[in-house]
Structure 1
């Protein structure tokens, strides 16, 4: 099973590494781990995100079926991210909003798009047991 030293690995295309770094590091606060000519590796909320230089990026930012993100266990962390997104005027696709209102799966959600149209979802469930 996963221990605190493990990290989920996510790889996405990036048309421009400077744009990707601006968005993820200076926008969302991810930490740059390494930079090469063809990719950047980031500490993205404790997991490994690699942005690979690629000409084949999505034409538009569409959340379904492909997106990635963070499910915050604490509401305060979600609230802090929303404030950061608003302050830094990051590209919001939708939200913050409530999904599945009135059900056990009720949660707040926020969808962003990076400069290469990769979609990132952040959410926080009212009932933390519903996170998985």
Structure 2
């Protein structure tokens, strides 16, 4: 099915493309791939994230039912992200926290909100086989 050359495509609304670039590139370290008048495309941890200019953005950052993010297989990568979030003072919606403590599904998590109130969750499972 999917190989290392494939990318998951995620599209979200953005009220301001400059703010989106500031958050995703200079905040999270995503790579800017393309920019047009109505959208901006990023290499978001190996997947394609597109922020489409829109007036229809969430009024507030709410985790459920819609969010996206990355499940890190390596604890070191999650730790590196936590340090980046703290250093760059990114907007944290929830966490960092430990979920399902004491179970096979135990994992660490943090949820961020971008400038358009899209919610991004980052995780690291103790057992990386359970990230799917």
> 1:15 Cα shift?
0.1
Alignment-derived partner of residue 66 in structure 1 = 66
Residue in 2 that maps onto 1:47: 47
- Match of 2:24? 24
Once the two structures are TM-superposed, the CA of residue 44 in structure 1 deviates from its matched residue by 0.1
1:129 positional shift: 1.2
Query: Which segments of 5 or more consecutive residues in structure 2 lack a partner in the other structure?
Result: none
Matched ranges for 1:1-132 at <5 A: 1-132=1-132
Please, what TM-score do these two structures have when normalized by structure 1?
A: 0.99
Distance 2:80 2:69 in 1: 15
Q: Which runs of 4+ in 1 moved over 2 A?
A: none
* CA–CA distance in structure 1, aligned partners of residues 115 and 99 of structure 2: 26
- State the shift of 1:105 in Å: 0.4
Task: Determine the C-alpha separation between the residues in 2 that align with 1:87 and 1:95.
Answer: 16
* RMSD, matched Cα: 0.3
**1: distance between equivalents of 2:57 and 2:26?**
21
Question: Within 2, Cα distance between the matches of 1:33 and 1:40?
Answer: 8
| Superposed displacement of residue 34, structure 1 | 0.3
CA positional deviation for 1:13: 0.1
CA distance in 1, matches of 2:96, 2:34: 31
Gaps of 5+ in 1: none
- Give the structure-2-normalised TM-score: 0.99
Tell me, in whole angstroms, the C-alpha distance in 2 between the residues paired with 1:76 and 1:62.
27
Offset at 1:115? 0.2
